[in-house]
Structure 1
Amino acid sequence: MADRIVLLPDNIANQIAAGEVIQRPASAVKELLENAVDAGATEIKLFLNDAGKALIQVVDNGAGMSETDARMCFERHATSKIRNIDDLFHIRTMGFRGEALASIAAVAQVELRTRREQDEVGTCIEIENSLVKKQTPVAAPVGTSICMKNLFFNVPARRNFLKSNAAEMRHVIDEFIRVALAFPNIFFSLTSNGQQLFHLEAGSLKQRIVQLLGNNYSAKLVSVKENTDYLNVHGFIGKPETAKKTRGDQYFFVNNRFIRSAYLHHAIMQAYQDLISSDSFPAYVLFIDLDPTQVDVNVHPTKQEIKFEDEKIVYAFVQAAVKHSLAQFSITPTLDFELDASIQGLDAVQKPFTEREQSATRSSTIFQTFTEANQAHRIVGGEWATVKNESSGFVSLTKQLMQLEETAMPEPTQLTTHQQATLTTGSPTQVFNTFILLPTAEKFYLVHQQAAHERILYERFEAATLGRAVATQNSLFPVSVELAPQDVVLLAELLPDLQKLGYTIEPFGRSSFVIQGTPADLLAGNEKAALESILEHYKHFSSELKLPRREMLLRTVAWQQAIKPGTVLTEKEMNQLTEDLFACRQPNATPSGRPTYVEFSKNQLERMFL
């Protein structure tokens, strides 16, 4: 019987390795940008066509390569960073494993042009499917230009898994922002299909954050800087009012390498405790510098997950640094232990508190006012004490209410015409400006006004996408809105569907849009906030749920336009809302599955009162 195990050919082995390192155009962008940084470049330019599917080109003015190095850099595990095993534990550069260029050459057509300062001519190499097609001397500026075309041209199955250009472009911009934030002292630019999206001059970290995350952060950043023998933490955090419902503007860098860490994110959330709601996320760009021997960056193919020697110490330092910064800028209360020296000289501090002075103080009216017997809220004996000791009755009632809520959820079926008719037997009443109490002959409904409106709007918008467009109200004074570059790409992707939902939005320059019209029932003067809220909530959905784009947008716009808790409704508005709700295809739940109403029958109420 013949032997069954054979060695894979190099080009197939490279393609398998590429599956780990190069998952989409954004992966190649990350590797090429990091190589340019490692080359000591002060200017790095990124050019894309079709979101990187057709072309990714990175041009830098770094050190360049010799003819031999230019050929060797495409071999697997060829690296200039490691000579022995100890070097692996002192890594401070971005790339070091020598897999990136070999992986890119295995799944794309690559052209490399490079020249060192001491060389008169440069080198041009063309590689396809891991095979060198051409190597020639060429005139070239100092630095390196690497051009990769037709990603996954030889792996059509992988190419079919790529998303739309807009979706892939968002991933590319995410990677670009991470590298650009880590190195504010380097000029970066990004040009897509001939249009420049980013032009980032070298400057301070704060300038780079504002350039990338938006001008609304310019006056809302708090500096963080804590140095210790073990590690240094520096960067910026957003003031509590910048917190959003989505995770987007959170960046951790360890030794200038972007990382994901739910553990360290928790440390920052704890520092913001009581300053923001539990479902909000603060903005931060934080850099942790520590000895490379205390961290292992080689635990994940993309190097975005790392391991610390002692996670708890890093957690404690990060949390303390953020808390200290929030306190320093009078955002959280803090105790000042450095007392003014003049306070120590006051009589109240220096002189002893004698027995005579103590008895005089005790007999004063101020002292007696604060003794327990004289406090206004004190209740001694009597029936109140009895009630206090019989609190178990309230506990059992609470349990019954909880059990009732669990059993009172209506079945997910549409109400019959007879059931709808019974709703008109009583007038609706608003409770806590959040719920609508709707009595009938044998039961009553408790309707959540926002949840009910969400369901109504969702079904209306769903119909709009299938043909019946929502009425648009043109603005007398169109509103312009300035967006961060990543939001520009997102909005461009959503514009056709937003048009069907009643929005008329037109591009106005590189990162600006003009809102010409909005849905007819949207409150005038609220156009800009509404659009920003839609984009923010859409990103929240896309990070939490894997749903089709249109479904996420319908849910987002329904949530954004629904009347919020705290809104006072007239009797006419309450009648209209409940009538529209029970006319819905599925009236009992919001698009995301939350109940819109709870039903209480007369028998259930009688059981509650024993």
Structure 2
Amino acid sequence: MSDIIQLLPDHVANQIAAGEVVQRPASVIKELIENAVDSGATSIQIIVKDAGRSLIQVIDNGSGMSVTDVRMAFERHATSKIRTTEDIYNIHTKGFRGEALASIAAVAQVETKTKKDEDEIGTQLVIEGGEVRNQDPIVCAVGTSISVKNLFYNVPARRNFLKSNQVEFRHIQDEFQRVAMAHENISFFLHHNDAEIYHLKAGNLKQRIAQIFGKKLNTQIISVEEDTEIVKVKGFVGKPDAAKKSRGEQFFFVNDRYIRSGYLHNAIVDAFESLLPTGYTPSYFLYLEIDPSKIDINIHPTKTEIKFEDEALIFTILRAAVKHALGQFNITPSLDFEQDPNWAFIPSAKEDTEIKMPEITVDSSFNPFEHQQARAPKPSDIKANLDFYNDAVELEIENNHAHQLFESDDFQDTFEVIQWMNQYLVVEYRGELLIIDQHRAHQKILFEKFIHSNNGNALVQQMLFPIELELSPNDRQKLINVEQQLMSFGFDISLEEEVIQINAIPVDVQQEDVVAVFMDFIEELEYQEELELDNTFAKILAKNAAVKKGMALKAEQMQTLVEELLKLPNPNYTPYGRPVFVQMNTSDIKKTLQ
């Protein structure tokens, strides 16, 4: 029987290894930028086309490579970062495994131009699918330029699994931000399809955060700084009132390397205990400096996971550092230990006020057992009972699941509607009592209207004075990516320098609701891979444009609202799945009153 076990060819082994290292275009961006940082560059430029499918080019002014080094750089497990096993536990650079370039070259067409400062000419190396095509001398600037073209051209299955350009470029932006935030002393430039997305100048950490996430963040973050023998913590955390429902502005860096850690995230959440509404997450940009021998980063090829020698201690120090920062800036309640407790609560009086002894009067004729007439209720008692009743009704509407009330062709066209507490519409319909949440009813009506009118024929109102939104480059790009969908709903937006200008809005949206609508748009676009944009935008528009609870309605408005609701095929639930009304028949009322 012949032998069946064989050694894989290098190009096959590299393609297999590329499956872990090169998962998508953003993976290539990360590896190339980190190599540029390790080369000592002070300026790094990234050029991307078609979200990395056609071209990814990274240009730096670092140390460059010699003729031999540039060829060795694309060999498997060839690296300048470590020499022995012990070096793995004393890592001060981004890369050290020697896998990235070989993996990238195995699944793309790669052209490298590089030159060292002491050399008169540079070197050009072309590799396609892991095979060297040519290596020639070339005149070029000091540093390195690596162009990755047609990623996954020889692995069609991998290329077919890539998401839309919008999604892939969002991942590229994420990787770009993580490296740029770890190295505020380096200038970074990012271009996509010949458009400049980021132009980050070298500066301090706070300036870099503002460059990426917008200047408004400057007033929403506070400084964190703690220096211990175990770990040094520095950075910024967001104020509680700037917290968001979505996650996206949470960053941990260990020795200038971005990491993910749900355990450390919980330390931050614990520090904000009782300061945040349920479901909200604080922003944070925290940098930990720790002895490299106390951590292990050789967990995964992406190097975003890390193990600490004493993770519980890091957790405690991090939580204490954030708590201290919040207390220092009077974000959390504090006790004044300098105040003399003996004098803390003594009331003061005017100098010319005569101090009198307190007098006590007693009704000697009072008999507690004597029958008294019922006391008339005070206004405060009435209000308290009414508030309790209102809360009970609200709970009833929240928890009752209304069934289908009638068939679409069974409609009563005459009924009387009254508004209760400026929140609910009460109507008798075919022998049943309906209590309708006016906000949810209008939300349902508008949702159906927006869904059926988003074909580019939506009625719009031009803004006499356009609304301007100052957003981060990332958020601006998100809106530009969905400009066509926004236009179909009646929005007209344009990019003016660093702001998004809103020139027209749908007729059913009030001007004062526009900012909230766009903030919700951006939040929904944050981390969702694929969105049903039409459905999502219609839900957001309906939620923000619907009449609010507490708004008094005219009789004609109430009548129209109920009529339009009851004519819908399924009026029972809002687009978010919440009940619109609760219904009661005679037997329900009799049972309640028994």
Task: Give the direction of change, closer, same or farther, for the CA distance of 1:231–1:197 in structure 2 (3 Å limit).
Answer: same
Task: Give the direction of change, closer, same or farther, for the CA distance of 1:525–1:449 in structure 2 (3 Å limit).
Answer: closer
Task: Give the direction of change, closer, same or farther, for the CA distance of 1:468–1:200 in structure 2 (3 Å limit).
Answer: closer
| Contact in 1 for aligned 2:479/2:522 (Cα 8 Å) | no
Which residue pairs with 2:375 in the alignment? none
Q: Please give the per-residue CA displacement for 1:56-93, whole angstroms capped at 9, x wherever unaligned.
A: 11111112222222111111222222222222222232
Task: Work out the CA distance in 1 between the residues paired with 2:269 and 2:67.
Answer: 51
The equivalent position to 1:461 in structure 2, one of 450, 470, 490, is: 450
| Contact in 1 for aligned 2:397/2:581 (Cα 8 Å) | no
Counterpart check, 1:502 vs 2:490: yes
Q: Please give the per-residue CA displacement for 1:567-590, whole angstroms capped at 9, x wherever unaligned.
A: 444443333333222222332222
Counterpart check, 1:421 vs 2:419: no
Counterpart check, 1:532 vs 2:518: yes
Offset at 1:348?
Answer: 6.9
Which residue pairs with 1:447 in the alignment? 436
Q: Please give the per-residue CA displacement for 1:500-549, whole angstroms capped at 9, x wherever unaligned.
A: 2111222334x43322211112223544x145324333225x54x85433
Counterpart check, 1:478 vs 2:469: no
Offset at 1:303?
Answer: 2.1
Task: Work out the CA distance in 2 between the residues paired with 1:54 and 1:243.
Answer: 38
| Contact in 2 for aligned 1:249/1:284 (Cα 8 Å) | yes
Task: Give the direction of change, closer, same or farther, for the CA distance of 1:457–1:127 in structure 2 (3 Å limit).
Answer: same
| Contact in 1 for aligned 2:186/2:202 (Cα 8 Å) | yes
RMSD (Å), alpha carbons = 3.2
Task: Give the direction of change, closer, same or farther, for the CA distance of 1:443–1:408 in structure 2 (3 Å limit).
Answer: farther
The correspondence of residues 270-349 of structure 1 with structure 2, limited to 5 A, is: 270-337=270-337, 339=338
Task: Give the direction of change, closer, same or farther, for the CA distance of 1:589–1:532 in structure 2 (3 Å limit).
Answer: same
Task: Work out the CA distance in 1 between the residues paired with 2:358 and 2:407.
Answer: 68
Which residue pairs with 1:562 in the alignment? 546
| Contact in 1 for aligned 2:233/2:321 (Cα 8 Å) | yes
Offset at 1:417?
Answer: 4.2
Which residue pairs with 1:358 in the alignment? none
Task: Give the direction of change, closer, same or farther, for the CA distance of 1:63–1:272 in structure 2 (3 Å limit).
Answer: same
Task: Give the direction of change, closer, same or farther, for the CA distance of 1:404–1:530 in structure 2 (3 Å limit).
Answer: closer
Q: Please give the per-residue CA displacement for 1:262-295, whole angstroms capped at 9, x wherever unaligned.
A: 3322322232233332222222211122222333
| Contact in 2 for aligned 1:487/1:535 (Cα 8 Å) | no
| Contact in 1 for aligned 2:115/2:143 (Cα 8 Å) | yes
Counterpart check, 1:583 vs 2:567: yes
Q: Which secondary structure does the structure 1 equivalent of 2:525 belong to?
A: helix
Q: Which moved more, 1:408-417 or 1:126-135?
A: 408-417
Counterpart check, 1:552 vs 2:536: yes
Which residue pairs with 1:520 in the alignment? 507
Q: Please give the per-residue CA displacement for 1:105-157, whole angstroms capped at 9, x wherever unaligned.
A: 01111111122223232221111101111112222222211111111111122
Counterpart check, 1:410 vs 2:396: no
> Aligned residues: percent identity?
44
Task: Work out the CA distance in 2 between the residues paired with 1:500 and 1:277.
Answer: 35
Q: Which moved more, 1:55-64 or 1:567-576?
A: 567-576
- Structure 1 counterpart of 2:436, one-letter code: V
Counterpart check, 1:118 vs 2:118: yes
Task: Give the direction of change, closer, same or farther, for the CA distance of 1:83–1:602 in structure 2 (3 Å limit).
Answer: farther
The structure in which a higher percent of residues are helix is 1
Task: Give the direction of change, closer, same or farther, for the CA distance of 1:416–1:178 in structure 2 (3 Å limit).
Answer: same
Task: Give the direction of change, closer, same or farther, for the CA distance of 1:556–1:12 in structure 2 (3 Å limit).
Answer: farther
Counterpart check, 1:600 vs 2:587: no
Task: Give the direction of change, closer, same or farther, for the CA distance of 1:464–1:44 in structure 2 (3 Å limit).
Answer: same
Which residue pairs with 1:35 in the alignment? 35
Task: Work out the CA distance in 2 between the residues paired with 1:438 and 1:301.
Answer: 64
| Contact in 2 for aligned 1:414/1:584 (Cα 8 Å) | no
Task: Work out the CA distance in 1 between the residues paired with 2:31 and 2:159.
Answer: 19
The correspondence of residues 123-142 of structure 1 with structure 2, limited to 5 A, is: 123-142=123-142
Task: Work out the CA distance in 2 between the residues paired with 1:203 and 1:68.
Answer: 35
Task: Give the direction of change, closer, same or farther, for the CA distance of 1:289–1:408 in structure 2 (3 Å limit).
Answer: same
Q: Which moved more, 1:53-62 or 1:82-91?
A: 82-91
Which residue pairs with 1:393 in the alignment? none
Which residue pairs with 1:355 in the alignment? none
Task: Work out the CA distance in 2 between the residues paired with 1:502 and 1:320.
Answer: 49
| Contact in 2 for aligned 1:200/1:211 (Cα 8 Å) | yes
Task: Work out the CA distance in 1 between the residues paired with 2:172 and 2:101.
Answer: 18
Task: Work out the CA distance in 1 between the residues paired with 2:19 and 2:260.
Answer: 21
Task: Work out the CA distance in 2 between the residues paired with 1:97 and 1:585.
Answer: 61
Task: Work out the CA distance in 2 between the residues paired with 1:416 and 1:208.
Answer: 58
Task: Work out the CA distance in 1 between the residues paired with 2:549 and 2:275.
Answer: 21
Q: Which secondary structure does the structure 2 equivalent of 1:218 belong to?
A: helix
| Contact in 2 for aligned 1:451/1:590 (Cα 8 Å) | yes
Task: Give the direction of change, closer, same or farther, for the CA distance of 1:261–1:571 in structure 2 (3 Å limit).
Answer: farther
Task: Work out the CA distance in 2 between the residues paired with 1:207 and 1:348.
Answer: 46
Which residue pairs with 1:57 in the alignment? 57
TM-score by length of 1: 0.83
Task: Give the direction of change, closer, same or farther, for the CA distance of 1:502–1:402 in structure 2 (3 Å limit).
Answer: closer
- Structure 2 counterpart of 1:102, one-letter code: A
Which residue pairs with 1:95 in the alignment? 95
Offset at 1:4?
Answer: 4.1
Task: Work out the CA distance in 1 between the residues paired with 2:96 and 2:180.
Answer: 19
Which residue pairs with 1:167 in the alignment? 167
Task: Give the direction of change, closer, same or farther, for the CA distance of 1:450–1:315 in structure 2 (3 Å limit).
Answer: farther
Which residue pairs with 1:361 in the alignment? none
Which residue pairs with 2:479 in the alignment? 491
Task: Give the direction of change, closer, same or farther, for the CA distance of 1:560–1:307 in structure 2 (3 Å limit).
Answer: farther
Task: Work out the CA distance in 1 between the residues paired with 2:551 and 2:343.
Answer: 53
Task: Work out the CA distance in 2 between the residues paired with 1:238 and 1:406.
Answer: 33
Task: Work out the CA distance in 2 between the residues paired with 1:365 and 1:269.
Answer: 51
- Structure 1 counterpart of 2:573, one-letter code: A
- Structure 2 counterpart of 1:447, one-letter code: I
Task: Give the direction of change, closer, same or farther, for the CA distance of 1:408–1:329 in structure 2 (3 Å limit).
Answer: closer
Task: Give the direction of change, closer, same or farther, for the CA distance of 1:6–1:608 in structure 2 (3 Å limit).
Answer: farther
| Contact in 1 for aligned 2:510/2:545 (Cα 8 Å) | no
Q: Please give the per-residue CA displacement for 1:338-366, whole angstroms capped at 9, x wherever unaligned.
A: x37xx69xx979xxxxxxxxxxxxxx869
| Contact in 1 for aligned 2:237/2:282 (Cα 8 Å) | yes
Task: Work out the CA distance in 2 between the residues paired with 1:191 and 1:158.
Answer: 25
Unaligned runs of 5+ in 1: 350-363, 369-378, 384-396
Task: Work out the CA distance in 2 between the residues paired with 1:530 and 1:406.
Answer: 24
Task: Give the direction of change, closer, same or farther, for the CA distance of 1:332–1:312 in structure 2 (3 Å limit).
Answer: same
Q: Please give the per-residue CA displacement for 1:196-255, whole angstroms capped at 9, x wherever unaligned.
A: 221111101001111110011122221111111111211112222322232122211122
Q: Which secondary structure does the structure 1 equivalent of 2:219 belong to?
A: coil
Corresponding residue pairs, total = 559
Offset at 1:607?
Answer: 3.2
